[in-house]
Each structure stands twice: as C-alpha cells, then as structure tokens.
Amino acid sequence: MTSSIAQSIVQIDGSFCEGGGQLLRNAVALSALLSKPISIFNVRQNRRPPGLRRQHEAGINLAASICSADTKGVEVDSTMIDFRPGPIQLPKTLSADPGTAGSTTLLLQIAFPCLLFSPSAHQAESESQEAPYHFGISPTLTVHRRGYYPKGGGSVLCTVPAIPGPLFPVVLTERGEVNCDPGECPPQRMVSDAHRTLVASGIPARKISITAVRERDQDVVGAGGGILLWAETDKGCLIAGSAVSIKEKKPKRVGEEAAKELVRNLSHGGCVDEYLQDQMIIFLALAQGTSIVKTGPLTDHTRTAIHIAQRMTGARFHLDENGPDSTTITCEGIGFTPSSR
C-alpha cells in the first residue's frame, strides 16, 4: 500500500458516543457509496460483549457485495475492520442471512443507502418525483415470513427504485394535529392495555383505533408477538411506538410499553420520533440543498450519525437545542449523485 493511499483512508473510532452497531453501519454504507476506504477500531466498544456479532458481519458482507469491496477483520468478535470499496454495480438481486434472530431492518440500514445509487440506475430516466417529505424515494418492503426470537428465520424483500438525480431536501418544522392513532398487534390483552395507557395520557378515545392481527402458522417461524402504534398528523408526520413480546414479559406490559413510547414521542412536539431521528441523518447529508427537521431531545444515536456523516461526506450540520425537549437539525447536503463518486 502506497503512502498516498494510506493517507486517504478514513480512520474512525468505533467507541465514539453511542459506540455501537449504528456507527459501524453508517460508516460502511457511506464508505461504499462514496468510494472512501475506512478503518474502524474499537468496534462496538460500548457494548457487552464488544466487537462484531453475526448480524454486523452479515451486514458488512452485504455492503461489500454491493460495491465489490476488499475487507479485513469482518468476523465475529473482531474489534477492528478495514473496508476498501470498489465500484457499485447495480441493478442486481442481493441477499443476506445472519443465521440468528437478528433484525432484518438493521441489515437494510447498511444496504439501503448503497442501493439507491449506481451508474446504471442513475442513467435510467424516470418520471419527475415530487415527494419532498420522503426525499423523493419510493421503495417497497414485503414481509414474506416473520421469524420470532430465538429461532429467527424471517424473510423480507426490499425493492429499491432508480432515482434520476440527487435526493430532495426535507423541511419538517410543523407537526400539526394528530388525526388518529392506529396500530396493529395481537393478542387482545395488548390491545386493551395499550388503549388504556393512551387514554390515560390524554389522547381522546375517539382518536384511537387498534387492530389485532394474527399471522397464519405457515407465515411464521417460532412463536411470538408484538405491537406497533403510530400517530398520523394533518401535516403528514408519523410518530410511532412499539414493543416486542418475549416469554418473560406479560402481554399487559407489552401494550403499556408501546403506548408509553408513543406518548413520550408525542410529548415533545417534534415531527419525527426518536428512531427516525437518527435514521434520516445519512439522507439529509446526501440530499441537495438545505434540510430542516424539528425533533425531540437529541439521542446519542443521532449525535453519532451526524459525526459520521460529517466525517464521510463533508455535509454541514447545525443543531439548535431549544431546551431539553426540543431540537432543530439543519443540514446543508452535498447533492450526491453517482457521478460525484
């Protein structure tokens, strides 16, 4: 390796702020997308045990297959990895399987930014997209099978469309009024306790609608359940709360947890919840122009995502923390396109 190549490698301390898997996923995704080699040390230093788990290994290998990357240290328990990306070559069908009851959405988190852009996709002209709230992105996600802990075995298909140019910026500064609080969950005890908790928080019962859903036996692996609640506003915002059922947790507690999480995210008046807050940082950095998002208290995951996005892309972020419960994130994006690689 020549000294000029060595100097171009971005060195990243994996113990920064939240020091977990999100830092790893964001850094690798941007490395693949921007053709910037990275070395990450102290991988998942703030987790016990530290180092890569099988889900992280599968995610990095998925990103490597997207951009024909050379890797080093991508194995379980490793606390240092090297990722040297090559060209992204799409469209093609990709698959990843951590072999455990890990999160399919966390695998998607590392792959999705890479899949949005490729020279072939960029050249495919499509109709003008006018959906600034969604950055102009319209993916589809189909759940073929759910796999419950500890067996796993779920299957999800995500189809990512070609985009004709850089992502649109977003402006989310007014949440608006909550229209309704729909949700999906089994069994009935989760429904009743979630409903009771929402009403106790001050949400009118007439605005709450929860539907119980039971999957067919042939569509699941293992036994389990969960509850997803979300609030829709007249400004197009979605605020969510969720909880997963496990053997040691009573249905009553599952329903209460999801409802309390939703209420907590509604209480701060932001336009996104605590989980979407950090997930959108990569896309703010890549979008063209100025994005402004009002949210609740800034999470460590979001601070980490901003740190990595600034290091990797050069996008400029400004944080206006208006007290402990309100933050406005402003980002001047880089207007990334495949030709700017």
The b/e string for 189-220 (b: 16+ C-beta within 10 A; e otherwise) is ebbebbbebbeeeebeeebbebeeeeeeeeeb
Kindly indicate the confidence band of residue 11, based on its pLDDT and cuts at 50, 70 and 90.
Answer: very high
Whether 1 and 70 have beta carbons less than 8 Å apart is answered as no
| Catalytic residue chosen out of the listed positions 56, 122, 301, 307 | 301
Annotated active-site residue 122? The verdict is no
Q: Give the model confidence (pLDDT) of 107-139 as tens digits.
A: 888 888 888 876 554 333 333 233 344 676 777
CA distance 279 to 304: 11
Q: Angle at Cα 147 formed by Cα 283 and Cα 282, nearest 5°? A: 5
Domains annotated on the chain, with CATH: 3-171+273-340 (3.65.10.20), 176-267 (3.30.360.20)
d(CA 299, CA 154): 29
Annotated binding-site residue? 52: no
pLDDT tens, residue by residue, 271-285: 999 999 999 999 999
* CA angle (311, 314, 315) in 5-degree steps: 110
| pLDDT tens-digit map of 237-281 | 889 998 888 777 787 888 889 889 999 999 888 999 999 999 999
| The pair of three-digit structure tokens given for residue 199, joined into one six-digit string | 């009403």
In this structure, of 19-33, 34-48, 164-178, the range with the lowest mean pLDDT score is 164-178
Q: Annotation-wise, does 288 bind a ligand?
A: no
What is the pLDDT, as a whole number, of residue 29?
95
pLDDT mean over 305-318: 96
Residue with more model confidence, 112 or 334 = 334
DSSP letters along 149-186, please? TTT---EEEEE----SSSPPP-EE-----EEEEEEE-S
252 phi/psi in degrees, rounded to 5: -55, -45
163, 117 in Cβ contact below 8 A? yes
With beta carbons less than 8 A apart as the criterion, state whether 168 and 337 touch: no
At 298, the pLDDT band (50, 70, 90 cuts) reads very high
Q: How far apart are CA 62 and CA 234, in angstroms?
A: 38
Whose tokens are 């009573």? That residue is 250
Percent of the chain with pLDDT over 90: 40
Mean pLDDT of the chain: 83
Tokens of 131: 């959906």
140: burial class by Cβ within 10 Å (0-12, 13-18, 19+)?
A: exposed
Single-letter code of the amino acid located at 252: K
- C-alpha dihedral over 66, 72, 73, 76, to 10 degrees? 30
Say if residue 279 carries a ligand binding annotation: yes
Contact (Cβ atoms closer than 8 angstroms) between residue 31 and residue 58? no
- Map residue 143 onto helix, strand or coil: strand
**276 a known binding residue?**
yes
Q: Do residues 187 and 222 touch, judged by C-beta distance below 8 A? A: no
Q: Confirm whether residue 300 is marked as ligand binding.
A: no
Please give the Cα distance from 200 to 210 (Å, whole number): 16
The answer to the question of whether 109 is labelled as a binding residue is: yes
pLDDT category, 206, cuts 50, 70, 90? Answer: confident
